[in-house]
Chain A
Amino acid sequence: MKAFKELTEISGSRQNSYVSAWKDQGKKVVGYVCSYMPEEILHAADILPYRINGKGVSDMSQADAYLSRVNCSFSRCCLELGFRGEYDFLDGAVWINGCDHIRRCYDNWKAKRPFPFMHMLPVPHKIFPEGRQWYKEEVISFKEAVEAYFGVKITDDKIAEACSVYNETRKLLRKLYDKRTEDEPGFTGPEINTILSASVSMPKPEFNHLLEQVLQETQTVKEGSKKSIRLLVAGSIMDDQGFIENIEEMGAVVVADAFCLGAKNFWDLMDENGNVFENLIDRYYTHSPCPRMAGEYPTRLNFIKEQIERANVEGVILEHIKFCDLHGTDNALLKKDLEKAGIATLELERQYGPLADSGRIRTRVQAFLERIKA
């Protein structure tokens, strides 16, 4: 379990040992917030992409002075950490206009505590040929901005190399998810969450190496997992081991997900043949769409249904962070359609943060599990 222990350490600290070692070599680290950001561009520039999160915040007073109580607690926690200087180890950050909250997080961050390099990469809100062209142009200007600011050259060869490393990560994560589908899942939900958090906070080649070891090491079956109710959890950003742990303690095991930090982020592989840059654009633009993409609800529903089938899921928990309109609205539709398809579904509104509101959530999950058992 040495490799898993290492991943746990990485996911548990902001400036983890890999980030420090990277910086010690004089290399740059750039933060980002969304899965529409093609990390390969940074990797190809020998810059470490680091996914910004809001973990560990219990007091948001600095962020609350700018964002408001109607902004989601994830965006506020991220901003809080930014304002406190906990992300000062980043040499820059790139934002996507993912939703109203996160783009305002960017505005405030930029106005009050800007990084030396701050870039907005706007992504269209629907999938169509003109949108793809727009996105491509934006990725090109992002690439040029990185080259100009950091004084690097991002060649096609380097992008191709980066793409193959990232594809390897995706393949390994799919293997990890295969283990979840087994009758006696090889990993608990919180363990998967730990691995995913580490995957976006360290260099990918090293992560791949560690994950390979974890996959070999973990032959042990989780005690009692066979008796647990198999759940899929989906919704707003989820990097909170405590939340999943809370659910599993009630007699469930999370065997699948549809989060932007989980399956939705890595499920789609990239075509490594032909023009790699074009393929990269296609991969990111059309990857399993987030609820910000209008008209793509049927694709999102199907994705969840496929994951349900793959992992033999007995019930679905749809969570959304309070004020997250994108996931909240999608969840309402998903609940209706999944229930119609005979899949027991629970909708939960929550706050981002360490076990916020855990009592209420436990009670609701317990009642839900009893409903499934009955």
Chain B
Amino acid sequence: MSEDKINALERMIETFLMTSNLPEDMDLESPDMKVFLESMPEGKRTAFLTMAKDLDVRKMSNAFNTAMSKYWDTVLQAKSRGKKVVFIPFNCSPEIFYALDIIPVGVEVLTTFTAILEEGLEKYLDLAVERGLPDTMCSSQRGTVGLLEAGLLDKPDLLVNGSLGSCDPNSKIFEYMSEKFDIPALYLDIPFYHDQRSLDYYTKGFRQVVEVLEELSGNKLDVDRLKEVCELSNRATELFLEINEIKKMIPNPVPNYYNQIHLGTKLLMAGTQDAVDIFQTALDVCQARLKKGSHVMPEEKIRLMMMYTGLYFDGGVHLWLEEEMGVSYLLDLLVYYDFNPIIDTSNIETMINGLADGMFNLPMTRQLKGGWDMPNNWLQDCLYYVDTYKADCLVFTGHTACKQVWGVYRLQLSES
């Protein structure tokens, strides 16, 4: 790989490192800091302030950014260390890959982080389209295609799409990358329904994927290693759910910023100690805030929930909502994980079943594979989240690419 080719990941790692150790006594009003802040473009400044302004948040962001710099470094070094890399979408869990010593990279997370590069993300979104990809496809994957087109990323060894049928752009982009860049691809079909028959079918497909992964990695699935990964994943889930309990309080002590990090943690690192550490730090912060009576400042006026996508490309939006309007940002349904089961680690069978069950219930896959008002689908889950987290309002921020959501959001609104 040539020098400039590794630039994208290298530069991302640099930024994560730079922001991974913000001191507790950091003074944003100091002259040096003011100069530093002035030197930043506005978007980046707000993103920086979102994670730096508040000491509680700073603790979370330090843990997150430290783990991220380490994670991306592992991706960067994969080839030289003889490790295989697989690209997956956000509705595909990473645990099985860790268990087989393969490095999973979530394409949507990668695209989102591209925004922290100096040149920004737009250039890569455009490049993907210039080279053929329709502009109506999902931009959260398009950035990764752009980086591949630009030669700023190594090709992965494999592509795995975990849910054919819940979103056409989401699965079609994998076929596109496979054909365009000559990368082998595996697909898991997701049925239209949410019942035992469907789960059994899906689990069978998942097992077939595991077999191919074993071949690819040259590693046989080791029960002890799998157990270790599943236990770490379970621990992260438990911590996530504990934070959710705190979120249900009125006012909500969980800082809005937390919504910016739980997703990347879950998608890239579930099954690792780093994910546990991030969630543990976040939980400690939230518990301390609960004790202190801290919450959205100065006053929680509105408890807001996004009924589908959030605003992932604007690092400053959570802070702005909080400061300007007293909005407590509860969640966006596209990336919330209340339906992820705790994996039964009794034996290899139960673990595989548990992992498949987890993927079957990932957001989007769960809510969009069938009819919007079917059991365990979009309408029901939306009502569950509103009720559980006591949301005052729902906001629909549909991305142009989410055609299946745009196709029924009016029905959904009329029922919500």
Residue contact B175 to A329, C-beta cutoff 8 Å? yes
Residue contact B179 to A297, C-beta cutoff 8 Å? yes
Known contacts: A125-B189, A134-B191, A328-B136. The answer to whether A99 contacts B165 by CB under 8 A is: no
Known contacts: A100-B404, A100-B407, A105-B407. The answer to whether A329 contacts B133 by CB under 8 A is: yes
Contact mask B151-184 → A, CB, 8 Å, 1/0? 0000000000100110111011111101110000
- A17 in the interface (beta carbon within 8 A): no
- A107 in the interface (beta carbon within 8 A): yes
**Stretch with Cβ within 8 A of B (4 or more), from A67-75, A188-196, A197-205:** A67-75
Interface residues of B in 390-414 (CB under 8 A from A): 398, 400-401, 403-404, 406-411
Which of chain A's residues have a CB closer than 8 A to the CB of B193? 122
- A262 in the interface (beta carbon within 8 A): no
Known contacts: A101-B407, A126-B187. The answer to whether A292 contacts B176 by CB under 8 A is: no
Q: How far is the CB of A272 from chain B (nearest CB, A)?
A: 29
Residue contact B164 to A323, C-beta cutoff 8 Å? no
- B204 in the interface (beta carbon within 8 A): yes
Partner of A67, one of B175, B179, B401, B407: B407
Which of chain A's residues have a CB closer than 8 A to the CB of B165? 97, 124-125
- A322 in the interface (beta carbon within 8 A): yes
Contact mask A9-22 → B, CB, 8 Å, 1/0? 00000000000000
- A113 in the interface (beta carbon within 8 A): no
Residue contact B179 to A99, C-beta cutoff 8 Å? no
Residue contact B191 to A70, C-beta cutoff 8 Å? no
Which of chain A's residues have a CB closer than 8 A to the CB of B408? 66, 104, 107-108
- B137 in the interface (beta carbon within 8 A): yes
Which of chain B's residues have a CB closer than 8 A to the CB of A66? 407-408, 410-411
**Stretch with Cβ within 8 A of B (4 or more), from A26-34, A36-44, A331-339:** A331-339
**Which residues of B are in contact with A by a Cβ distance under 8 Å?**
132-134, 136-137, 161, 164-165, 167-169, 171-176, 178-180, 185, 187, 189-193, 201, 204-205, 370-373, 398, 400-401, 403-404, 406-411
Residue contact A326 to B172, C-beta cutoff 8 Å? yes
Residue contact B134 to A329, C-beta cutoff 8 Å? yes
- A329-B171 Cα distance, complex, nearest whole Å: 11
Which of chain B's residues have a CB closer than 8 A to the CB of A130? 201, 204-205
- A182 in the interface (beta carbon within 8 A): no
Please give me the 10 A-B residue pairs with the lowest Cβ-Cβ distance, nearest first: A104-B407, A122-B192, A125-B164, A332-B132, A100-B404, A328-B134, A68-B406, A294-B187, A100-B403, A329-B172
Residues of A in contact, count (CB < 8 Å): 45
- A325-B401 Cα distance, complex, nearest whole Å: 9
Can you give 14 contacting A-B residue pairs, CB < 8 Å? Answer: A67-B406, A70-B400, A100-B168, A101-B404, A101-B407, A106-B371, A108-B411, A111-B373, A120-B192, A120-B371, A124-B191, A294-B161, A294-B164, A297-B179
Residue contact A126 to B164, C-beta cutoff 8 Å? yes
Other than the known A291-B172, A332-B133, what 20 A-B pairs have Cβ atoms closer than 8 Å? Answer: A67-B406, A70-B400, A75-B407, A108-B411, A120-B192, A120-B371, A124-B191, A125-B190, A130-B201, A294-B164, A295-B175, A295-B185, A325-B172, A326-B172, A328-B137, A329-B173, A329-B175, A332-B134, A333-B132, A333-B176
- A106-B410 Cα distance, complex, nearest whole Å: 14
Which of chain B's residues have a CB closer than 8 A to the CB of A65? 410
Which of chain A's residues have a CB closer than 8 A to the CB of B180? 333, 336
Q: How far is the CB of B204 from chain A (nearest CB, A)?
A: 5
Main secondary structure of the interface of B (DSSP, over half): mixed
- A106-B374 Cα distance, complex, nearest whole Å: 13
Residue of A nearest to B187 (CB): A294
- A103-B372 Cα distance, complex, nearest whole Å: 10
- A316-B370 Cα distance, complex, nearest whole Å: 36
Contact mask A254-269 → B, CB, 8 Å, 1/0? 0000000000000000
Residue of B nearest to A294 (CB): B187
Residue of B nearest to A124 (CB): B189
Residue of A nearest to B399 (CB): A70
Q: How far is the CB of A242 from chain B (nearest CB, A)?
A: 24
- A354 in the interface (beta carbon within 8 A): no
Q: How far is the CB of A123 from chain B (nearest CB, A)?
A: 9
Q: How far is the CB of B140 from chain A (nearest CB, A)?
A: 14
- Name which of B134, B176, B190, B193 has the most chain A CB atoms within 10 A of its CB: B134
Q: How far is the CB of B203 from chain A (nearest CB, A)?
A: 10
- A131 in the interface (beta carbon within 8 A): yes
Residue of A nearest to B202 (CB): A130
- A67-B403 Cα distance, complex, nearest whole Å: 9
Residue contact B372 to A107, C-beta cutoff 8 Å? yes
Residue contact B403 to A122, C-beta cutoff 8 Å? no
Residue contact A125 to B134, C-beta cutoff 8 Å? no
- A283-B372 Cα distance, complex, nearest whole Å: 31
Partner of A71, one of B179, B185, B205, B406: B406
Known contacts: A125-B171, A326-B168. The answer to whether A107 contacts B185 by CB under 8 A is: no
Residue contact B372 to A325, C-beta cutoff 8 Å? no
Residue of B nearest to A103 (CB): B404
Residue contact B403 to A71, C-beta cutoff 8 Å? yes
Residue contact A295 to B187, C-beta cutoff 8 Å? yes
Known contacts: A130-B201, A297-B175. The answer to whether A336 contacts B132 by CB under 8 A is: yes
Residue of A nearest to B138 (CB): A325
Known contacts: A107-B371, A335-B132. The answer to whether A325 contacts B403 by CB under 8 A is: yes
Which of chain A's residues have a CB closer than 8 A to the CB of B403? 70-72, 100-101, 104, 323, 325
Residue contact A71 to B407, C-beta cutoff 8 Å? yes
Q: How far is the CB of B67 from chain A (nearest CB, A)?
A: 33
Q: How far is the CB of A317 from chain B (nearest CB, A)?
A: 16
Residue contact B167 to A100, C-beta cutoff 8 Å? yes
- A111-B134 Cα distance, complex, nearest whole Å: 31
- A108-B410 Cα distance, complex, nearest whole Å: 9
Q: How far is the CB of B334 from chain A (nearest CB, A)?
A: 15
Q: How far is the CB of B381 from chain A (nearest CB, A)?
A: 16
Which of chain B's residues have a CB closer than 8 A to the CB of A67? 406-407
Which of chain B's residues have a CB closer than 8 A to the CB of A125? 164-165, 171, 187, 189-190
